[in-house]
């Protein structure tokens, strides 16, 4: 049962020493405070009686207002308590203030706006796509937090699986985005933790096959004769560079500048995780980067010739659009290059990341170092590659179970 109390906030007194009167609401031991826009000197406040003392010239009028606001508040609290016994304290405060409770979509779109303001355009657009898809399903731009329950999640999963024909991992990605928003809403007291629909909803991510190149395939791709003035040449070079230089993401490589190159190391702050890494370049990576180096090259020039300094790259949206365009172009060329190199695999730039990770583990690099160089937030992400390597080792051990072919004894020639 929610309760109310009138309190004088003396610590918020104005210069004339008058302090504001607040209405305190308590629900589930969580207090919320509503300013009543009334100020009195502390000497005129009766804390025990929760009213203005008779000595104040406007005490009668002010007390009548306080009684009215308290009664209205209690009525609002009882109404919302009947409608939703589990309503959080902030919902009660909004009701008392006459503010409509924030619905899920209003909160969610406001929350993801932070990604756009921080320049994380890809993340913003991914979340926006998830929310737009959910809005289409609900058929309304308004959606109460209480409607987002376990039953709704189950029905929405069935819709994505059956009607939209989404793959399991696509469904999980959608729910992870929604869960992220729900978790933030809980932190901000818009919903109670016990009302979290994901508390009893399990997400099952299906491991996808990670395509990577063997040493022979890397060499075949590197040895293709290409026109140095063609984009294919530069796309191939950047891919091979990544296979040797820590599997750096294409978005980071495209933006790599000569100021990030020390002569034998690459220093960069990854755009996805924000982690700062230093990668010592092996010989083959250095050979590639030296093809683009000249003594008079400006430090703020890009190493790989894809972005132009004249582009309006300070605008995150323009930068994101350029990187997306270059990535698409690169992946198209990589598919053609794979065919030319007789590589029967679906090649895209992210496979260079898989390739470097599996190569590093096969060569004996400790998994913690692999994880650090790849900029992973958790070593669990890196362990996927360790499983790939272990599976290959298990297969290699099968040679001990192979039965060697029986050599036939040569027939002795009969002497007459």
Between CA 36 and CA 307 the distance in angstroms is 57
Second-level CATH architecture of 104-200 = Orthogonal Bundle (1.10)
Query: Closest Cα partner for 381 from 275, 310, 291, 283?
Result: 275
Second-level CATH architecture of 215-395 = Orthogonal Bundle (1.10)
Average pLDDT across the chain, whole number: 85
Tokens read off for 52: 């203005």
State mean pLDDT over 8-13: 94
Tokens read off for 136: 């289409």
pLDDT at 410 over 80: no
H or E stretch at 127 = helix 121-138
State mean pLDDT over 76-93: 65
Q: Is the dihedral of CA 137, 140, 142, 148 positive or negative?
A: negative
Q: Which residue has the higher pLDDT, 386 or 243?
A: 243
* Ramachandran region, residue 189 (left: φ > 0; alpha: ψ -120 to 50; beta: rest): left
pLDDT score of 189: 73
> What single DSSP character describes residue 194?
G
pLDDT score of 76: 73
pLDDT score of 89: 60
At 183-194, the pLDDT tens digits run 998 888 777 787
pLDDT score of 408: 61
Domains 104-200 and 215-395 share a fold: no
Are 349 and 234 contacting, i.e. CB atoms less than 8 angstroms apart? Answer: no
Tokens read off for 263: 């002569």
Between CA 114 and CA 184 the distance in angstroms is 12
Q: Which residue has the higher pLDDT, 98 or 151?
A: 151
State mean pLDDT over 169-182: 95
At 320-347, the pLDDT tens digits run 999 999 999 999 999 999 999 999 999 9
Q: Where are the domains of the chain?
A: 3-97, 104-200, 215-395
């Amino acid at each position: 049962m929610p309760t109310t109390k009138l309190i004088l906030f003396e610590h918020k007194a104005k210069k004339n020493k008058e302090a504001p009167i607040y209405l305190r609401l308590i629900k589930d031991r969580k207090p919320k405070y509503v300013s009543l826009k009334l100020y009195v000197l502390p000497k005129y406040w009766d804390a025990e009686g929760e009213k203005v003392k008779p000595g104040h010239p406007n005490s009668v009028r002010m007390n009548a207002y306080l009684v009215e606001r308290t009664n209205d508040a209690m009525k609002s609290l009882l109404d919302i308590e009947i409608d939703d016994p589990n309503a959080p304290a902030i919902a009660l405060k909004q009701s008392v203030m006459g503010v409509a409770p924030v619905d899920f979509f209003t909160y969610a779109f406001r929350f993801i706006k932070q990604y756009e303001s921080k320049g994380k355009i890809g993340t913003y657009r991914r979340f926006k796509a998830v929310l737009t898809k959910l809005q289409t399903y609900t058929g309304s731009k308004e959606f109460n937090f209480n409607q987002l329950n376990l039953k709704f999640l189950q029905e929405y999963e069935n819709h994505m699986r059956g009607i939209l024909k989404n793959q399991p991992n696509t469904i999980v990605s959608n729910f992870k985005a929604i869960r992220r928003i729900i978790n933030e809403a809980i932190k901000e007291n818009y919903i109670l933790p016990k009302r979290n629909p994901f508390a009893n909803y399990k997400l099952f991510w299906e491991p996808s096959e990670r395509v990577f190149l063997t040493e022979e395939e890397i060499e075949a791709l590197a040895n293709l004769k290409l026109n140095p003035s063609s984009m294919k040449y530069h796309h191939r070079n950047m891919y091979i560079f990544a296979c040797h230089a820590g599997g750096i993401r294409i978005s980071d490589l495209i933006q790599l500048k000569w100021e990030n190159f020390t002569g034998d190391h690459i220093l960069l702050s990854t755009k996805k995780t924000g982690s700062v890494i230093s990668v010592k370049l092996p010989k083959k990576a250095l050979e590639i980067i030296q093809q683009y180096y000249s003594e008079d090259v400006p430090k703020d020039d890009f190493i790989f010739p894809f972005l132009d300094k004249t582009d309006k790259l300070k605008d995150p949206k323009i930068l994101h659009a350029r990187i997306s365009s270059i990535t698409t172009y690169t992946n198209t060329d990589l598919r053609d290059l794979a065919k030319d190199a007789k590589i029967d695999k679906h090649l895209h730039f992210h496979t260079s990341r898989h390739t470097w990770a599996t190569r590093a583990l096969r060569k004996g690099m400790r998994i913690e170092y692999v994880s650090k160089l790849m900029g992973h937030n958790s070593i669990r992400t890196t362990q996927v590659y360790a499983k790939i390597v272990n599976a290959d080792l298990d297969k290699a051990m099968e040679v001990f179970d192979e039965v060697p072919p029986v050599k036939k004894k040569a027939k002795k020639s009969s002497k007459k």
